[in-house]
Chains A and B, each alone.
Chain A
Amino acid sequence: NAGVTQTPKFQVLKTGQSMTLQCAQDMNHNSMYWYRQDPGMGLRLIYYSASEGTTDKGEVPNGYNVSRLNKREFSLRLESAAPSQTSVYFCASSERGAPGNTIYFGEGSWLTVV
């Protein structure tokens, strides 16, 4: 099982460029998430999708947009990248919300904005 798959794994962008991080899960989960992790910091929630067709802001949504394309896929878009968005991005999914449903994380996407 692939679990949660993110692409690309590494990306370098110039300030002002746009890009989309793709995420797909093969566990038939209802809920999906995007987190970012900065050096020496914990993960911070950017956006989440509780179920297909819904998206909600997390702790740090500014500068990002998301699309829940279907039940499997949840993409994160940077419209105009800024150096402050240099980070490691993690996509995650869970069967549904609440702690009884384990959140599974992808391996991460390393993004550098120069």
Chain B
Amino acid sequence: DQQVKQNSPSLSVQEGRISILNCDYTNSMFDYFLWYKKYPAEGPTFLISISSIKDKNEDGRFTVFLNKSAKHLSLHIVPSQPGDSAVYFCAGLTGSYQLTFGKGTKLSVIP
């Protein structure tokens, strides 16, 4: 039973355009949602998070939107750069320590 779902395994975007990565969840107990970025042969790195009581959080080129009624969140990257090419994981946090990850979406930004 996947509590966090990333239904698009991959996404290709032209450099300079907007990248939108989507995530759905089923567990209403998540307090926070986080996005991580992962390059091959490296560990994930934290990108941005959002509290379950917020609907938007912005950090530079990255914005996360949360639609709690739809149990849906999305990560927007504007403008997309070739260095953004990586696998992006959405994760939900329960309590203080337990992160539940989605399967990831591989983003390719085409120069």
Contact = CB atoms under 8 A, between A and B. Distances in A.
B43 A98 contact: no
Nearest to A91: B43
Interface stretch (A14-22, A64-72, A77-85, A103-111): A103-111
Given A4-B43, A103-B46, 12 more contacts: A42-B4, A42-B89, A43-B101, A48-B98, A50-B97, A56-B97, A90-B43, A99-B34, A99-B51, A99-B93, A108-B41, A108-B42
Contacts of A45: 98-100
Interface in A43-61: 43-45, 48, 50, 56, 58-59
B51 to A, nearest CB: 8
Interface string A27-51: 0000101000000111111001010
Contacts of B31: 99
Contacts of A59: 98, 100
Interface residues of A, number: 27
A56 B95 CA distance: 13
Contacts of A48: 97-98
A42 B103 contact: yes
Interface of B: 4, 6, 9, 31-32, 34, 41-46, 49, 51, 89, 91, 93, 95-104
A50 B101 contact: no
Q: Which of B9, B51, B91, B97 has most chain A Cβ within 10 Å?
A: B97
A60 to B, nearest CB: 11
Nearest to B47: A102
B69 to A, nearest CB: 22
Contact of A103 (B9, B99, B103): B99
Contacts of A56: 97
Nearest to B102: A42
Across the A-B interface, give the 4 residue pairs with the lowest CB-CB distance, nearest first: A97-B96, A105-B43, A42-B101, A99-B32
